[in-house]
Structure 1
Amino acid sequence: MTGQWTVLPPIGWLDEEDGAMVYFEPIRDIFLGFDAAVPSRFVVFVPLTNCFCEFTEMAIYSSETGRWTKVQSEWGYKTILVGNSECVFLNGTMHLATHYALVVTVDTEGKVWREIEMPEHSPDTNQLASIGKSQGRLYAWQIEDDHDCQLYVWVLEDCGGGKWTLKYTVNVPELFGRQPGQDDMSYKVFAIHPDCDLIFLTDEEEMAVSYDMENQKVNATCTFSQEFEDVLPYVPCFAEWASDAH
């Protein structure tokens, strides 16, 4: 990382009719994309939404040009983003999760727009699936809450064809040393390691664990004294994480 702060200019551009600057104030979500090898070069994506949380335009800031540009969205008109940190910047393209079983993508110039359908055999197509990046590929996961709280993890094998492969399944309560169906915890996968098949889960009340999907090993990461807040792992701290099961 550079260790330097960058202050972005207000979101605005020249009006096409009178040439005056037009500024955009209401901001719902901001998505940052950069290559970890060259962190000083980055792109910021800001969907410009209406009162229904639908949008037809995207503001894109480039650190190379130092200015914002506005582009017309080519996604479906009912695209509603999950927001928060549900984004993955991969191969020069921003990937965003939506509320309609789709992952939508746009490149850094706002020229290539795509929609990738979530896996056909996901347990609940109406439930949100989360996305992450690991080992240079896009991952998606979903926890089925209706039955035995099973976690499903897919990897996108073919970006062009939108082909997903189910890679792992696991019973989530068992990772926390509990019997399936005997607790009312709300489980969540909050991160995936960028360099190996390691995910981080929480019950949002008591503890967080890491799970090595390849070796099926669990580690208790931390316990909570108050309600869990969204976090991101600082990867070097977990690069040589032990693989002792509890």
Structure 2
Amino acid sequence: MNTDFDAVLVAVDMEGQVWKTIPVPSGSLSFGMMGVSQGCLHYAATPLAPGEKKKKGKKKKHGDTTTVWYMKDYDSKEWVLKHSVSYDELCSMTGGEYRVAAFHPDCDTIFLDSFGSDTLASYDMQHQKFHRIRSLRKNKAAIFLPYVPLFSDSFAGADGQ
């Protein structure tokens, strides 16, 4: 594998002693997004520049599709395709170019940032439903910092109760 051009995930153990690289799925130039959903690591690839329209009798390039993958087993480094949707289909829903901005922590939903219409939206992969959440400021680059609250016994109180 040539890691000079292939996108990889770098994993480090808790002691910082064991490092490994895991290739991420790719088919063409794409904007990649990594996150955790439903207890599994997820990766989404959104085309940076989709190829030409599908011509009669020819297959569409893999790069014309947004794909969402999850890692089933960290040891095998195996990614499993969870969902794919054509770039054109999502563009028609979002009203313009988009990228995957985040993953819902508990369900099969991704959040989309639409550049053309300055919109934040969600896409339910299981039911293939699009929902516009809100309009963003026109002509402003949006940076999304997803926040997922961590509820843990360790934060119950200073005395551990």
TM-score (norm 1): 0.48
- Aligned position for 1:230: 143
Greater helix fraction, Structure 1 or Structure 2: 2
| Structure of greater relative contact order (alpha carbons < 8 Å, 6+ residues apart) | 2
The 3 A distance-change label for structure 1 pair 176 and 235 is farther
Q: Give deviations 1:191-232, integer Å, cap 9, x for gaps.
A: 001111110011224212101111111110111232241123
Gaps of 5+ in 2: 54-63, 150-161
Q: Which has the higher Rg, Structure 1 or Structure 2?
A: 1
Aligned to 1:115, the other structure's residue is in SS state: strand
Candidates 53, 59, 71, aligned match of 1:156 = 71
Partners of 2:6 and 2:91 in 1: CA distance: 30
After TM superposition, the runs of 4+ consecutive aligned structure 1 residues lying more than 3 A away are 175-179, 232-236
Q: Once the 2 structures are TM-superposed, how far is the Cα of residue 128 of structure 1 from its aligned partner?
A: 4.7
The residue identity in structure 2 corresponding to 1:210 is S
Partners of 1:112 and 1:202 in 2: CA distance: 35
RMSD: 2.7
1:194 equivalent to 2:105? Answer yes
- Aligned position for 1:171: 86
Percent identity over paired residues:
36
The 3 A distance-change label for structure 1 pair 178 and 214 is closer
Gaps of 5+ in 1: 1-77, 81-98, 237-246
Q: Once the 2 structures are TM-superposed, how far is the Cα of residue 127 of structure 1 from its aligned partner?
A: 4.0
TM-score (norm 2): 0.70
Q: 2:33 touches 2:102 (CA, 8 Å); kept in 1?
A: no
- Aligned position for 2:9: 103
Partners of 1:197 and 1:115 in 2: CA distance: 26
Partners of 2:75 and 2:93 in 1: CA distance: 40
- Aligned position for 2:59: none
Partners of 1:210 and 1:178 in 2: CA distance: 11
Q: Once the 2 structures are TM-superposed, how far is the Cα of residue 123 of structure 1 from its aligned partner?
A: 1.9
